[in-house]
Amino acid sequence: MSQTAASTSITSQLATVKITESDGEDRPVPPTETKADGAKVIDNGAVEQPEFTDPFCNADNPQIITFQDVTSAAFRIKKGIEYTPCPRSHLSETLDMDIYLKKEFLQFTGSFKERGARYALLMLSDEQKQIGVISASLGNHAQGLSYHGWKLGIPVTVVMPLKASLMKIQKCRDYHANVIVQGSDMGQAKKIALRMAHETGLTYINGYDHPHIMSGQGTIGLEIVEQVNSIDAVVIPVGGGGLIAGIATAIKNLSPQTKIIGVESEKCPSFTKALENGAPIYTPNKETLADGLAVPQVGYNAFATTVPLLDKMIVVKEEWIALAILRLVELEKCVVEGAGASGLAAILAGHMDEFKGKRVVLLVCGGNIDTTIFGRCLERGLAAEGRLQRFTVRVSDGPGGVSKLCNLLAELGVSIKDIMHDRAFIRDVHSVEVKVICETRDWHHTKEMRNLLQETYEDVYFYDMPMAI
């Protein structure tokens, strides 16, 4: 697929945004009556609402953005967006790779989504600006749109799925948006937003597939090439695909030898499934630490723009994302959400070993993580690395039996986080079963503790082999 051949100038089309009805071809029951709002009364009297499509996301006519689209966006948004740093990472030495972190979580609302949102808002006609916009989002696009809408005086409505992070929902309210929490996932929320756009005249802005959104995200690529010389690869987290589409467009134009690597969580591999299928396809998502990436179907425009520029797509396990969050806190002092840590997760998991000794830029694209989830991620990260251990041991129930165990751990420098005794369910009345959760310094320390416990006690059982070693 040639990028230039399929390119259309997107700017000229914006004034004609209209929401059109789909043909509803897969409806099982033929409608008997159509109401003025497009709803259909079917045989049993039930009212079936029509589905509305986004005119900018058409499977049969995907829009491929150009380098000029990205540079125009960069010029327009320059004044309202942070030029984020891209320093060399402390992780470089331990991972044997020259790693740079593009710190997009330092944008005011905590993610890169502001770039596309601001550009899309600036490109509206005066009438569209007055009436306002609507979008569906899991949170970061909603925040970017809400914040810049507020700053630019454009009314913003966001539909957020029920599973959206509470913190992200509250933030949108703080930025004066009209927030509607509805729909079980992004697919549902999008349908609701499209219907509302049709009913109210608000302009619908897709958070990953609108050409102006992709162009806005692409401005990150221009900055990266300015900030880092001779880049071998850029690793970009993928949700609906807008971020990778924009950045790939910028980077492959300025630095064609740089490899473009996408990364997804194993819980929402929508882009990988689209590649297998040859086109975007609905891929049910499971709960993931990378909630920003949980988009069940990638965008048609994003897919068409990215595929010719993509060198590799990685699917990473959740444990590595948890560990990456932990590493970024400990070594970089960066608080990052799962999506933002998934590039590092790909390296930790060994998916990027061909880039050992080479120069790699990671998109650290979001920092909006719920405090409770953050706590759980750190614990999961410690467990994945073998630093949080869980074991059961049978010790004497006589005086000093449990204290001997505690002293043994204390002498090794192991810290007990939780301890539980069980007497009722074991046969030997002179013994007690002790379940311990404890923290060690590292995997060597863990092994030392395991060996000592096995030498000292007859009956000791360790749970979960750490995976990240």
Q: Considering beta carbons, is residue 211 or 340 the nearer one to ligand PLP?
A: 340
Nearest distance in Å: CB 58, ligand PLP: 18
Q: Considering beta carbons, is residue 91 or 290 the nearer one to ligand PLP?
A: 290
Check: CB of residue 341 under 8 Å from CB of residue 321. Answer: yes
Return d(Cα 63, Cα 212) in angstroms, integer: 11
Nearest distance in Å: CB 4, ligand PLP: 23
Q: Considering beta carbons, is residue 339 or 383 the nearer one to ligand PLP?
A: 339
Q: Considering beta carbons, is residue 118 or 129 the nearer one to ligand PLP?
A: 118
Nearest distance in Å: CB 177, ligand PLP: 16
Nearest distance in Å: CB 243, ligand PLP: 4
CB nearest ligand PLP: which residue?
366
Q: Considering beta carbons, is residue 233 or 263 the nearer one to ligand PLP?
A: 263
Q: Considering beta carbons, is residue 183 or 239 the nearer one to ligand PLP?
A: 239
Q: Considering beta carbons, is residue 104 or 433 the nearer one to ligand PLP?
A: 104
**First and final CA of the chain: distance in angstroms?**
41
Nearest distance in Å: CB 326, ligand PLP: 17
Nearest distance in Å: CB 192, ligand PLP: 18
Nearest distance in Å: CB 391, ligand PLP: 36
Check: CB of residue 103 under 8 Å from CB of residue 89. Answer: no
Nearest distance in Å: CB 254, ligand PLP: 20
User: Which residue ranges make up the site for ligand PLP (CB under 6 A)?
Assistant: 111, 113, 140-141, 208, 237-243, 292-293, 295, 337, 339-340, 365-366
The residue behind tokens 């507020």 is: 150
Q: Considering beta carbons, is residue 142 or 383 the nearer one to ligand PLP?
A: 142
Check: CB of residue 339 under 8 Å from CB of residue 291. Answer: yes
